[in-house]
């Protein structure tokens, strides 16, 4: 197999109608392989991220030009080799509480201090009154021996900002 170049393409669009089909058509027509993708509607803004590969070495602007007829705000980021994913133990964490500024920052700062890697993060705010803020994360720890230390630290942080926190180790079953 030829050397593969990796590109991350992000798109945001206020009108989601037909945008996935139009975008993936351009990718297909230009010989890109879809390695991974995530798309979702965030407050009415349709947001897509594609990780694509191609054996052609494009400049970022060349890729943007391919999409000039697809009405989206887009960014292209090129990287030379497949990015590594850290190995370790996975945990799912949920945090919720009355909506107020700084919840994500406080929690993620504590996660970083404890050398955990965030591999997924989603936040939602409920529509009711008072509004409730919900954050769901998946983190990876490379050290299985300090579980109690970082979990206690996170629980303390969550309490300080008046939120509830649940931490659960994710069990992988080979069946």
Partner 1 sequence: MAVREVLKYPNDILKQDSADVTELTDDIKKIIQDLKDTMLDAGHSTGIAAPQIGELKRIITIDASLNKKCKENHGFMVMINPEIIEHSGTITSREGCMSVPDFTGNVTRAERIVVSYLDENMQPNVLETSGFEAVLIQHETDHLNGMLFIDRVISKRTDLFRRKKYQGAV
Interface positions with partner 1 (CB under 8 A): 36, 38, 40, 85, 87, 90, 120, 122, 136, 138, 170-175
Minimum distance of partner 1 from residue 20's CB (angstroms): 14
- At 61, list the tokens: 């602007």
CB-wise, 44 or 102, nearer to partner 1?
44
**Least gap, CB of 123 to partner 1 (angstroms):** 13
Q: How far is the CB of 158 from partner 1 (least distance, A)?
A: 21
C-alpha 34/C-alpha 38 separation (Å) is: 11
- Name the residue nearer to partner 1 (CB basis): 37 or 108: 37
> Could you give the count of Cα atoms lying within 13 Å of 22 in the half-sphere of its Cβ?
15
Residues 169 and 92: their CA atoms lie apart, in Å, by 6
For partner 1, the closer CB: 121 or 161: 121
Report whether 52 contacts 27 (CB < 8 A): yes
Query: In this complex, which beta carbon is closest to partner 1, that of residue 61 or of residue 145?
Result: 145
Nearest Cα residue to 33 out of 47, 12, 50, 57: 50
Cβ 72 to partner 1 shortest distance, Å: 19
Of residues 110, 120, 115, the one with CA closest to residue 141: 115
């Amino acid at each position: 197999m030829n050397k593969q170049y990796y590109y991350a393409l992000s798109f945001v669009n206020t009108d989601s109608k037909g945008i996935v089909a139009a975008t993936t058509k351009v990718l297909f027509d230009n010989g890109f392989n879809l390695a991974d993708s995530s798309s979702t509607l965030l407050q009415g803004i349709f947001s897509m991220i594609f990780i694509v590969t191609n054996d052609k070495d494009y400049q970022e602007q060349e890729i943007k030009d391919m999409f000039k007829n697809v009405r989206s705000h887009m960014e292209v980021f090129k990287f030379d080799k497949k990015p590594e994913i850290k190995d370790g133990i996975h945990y799912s964490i949920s945090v919720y509480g009355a909506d107020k500024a700084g919840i994500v920052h406080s929690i993620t700062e504590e996660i970083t201090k404890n050398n955990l890697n965030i591999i997924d993060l989603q936040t939602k705010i409920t529509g009711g009154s008072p509004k409730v803020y919900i954050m769901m994360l998946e983190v990876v720890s490379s050290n299985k021996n300090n579980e109690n230390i970082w979990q206690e630290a996170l629980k303390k942080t969550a309490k300080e900002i008046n939120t509830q926190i649940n931490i659960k180790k994710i069990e992988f079953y080979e069946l």
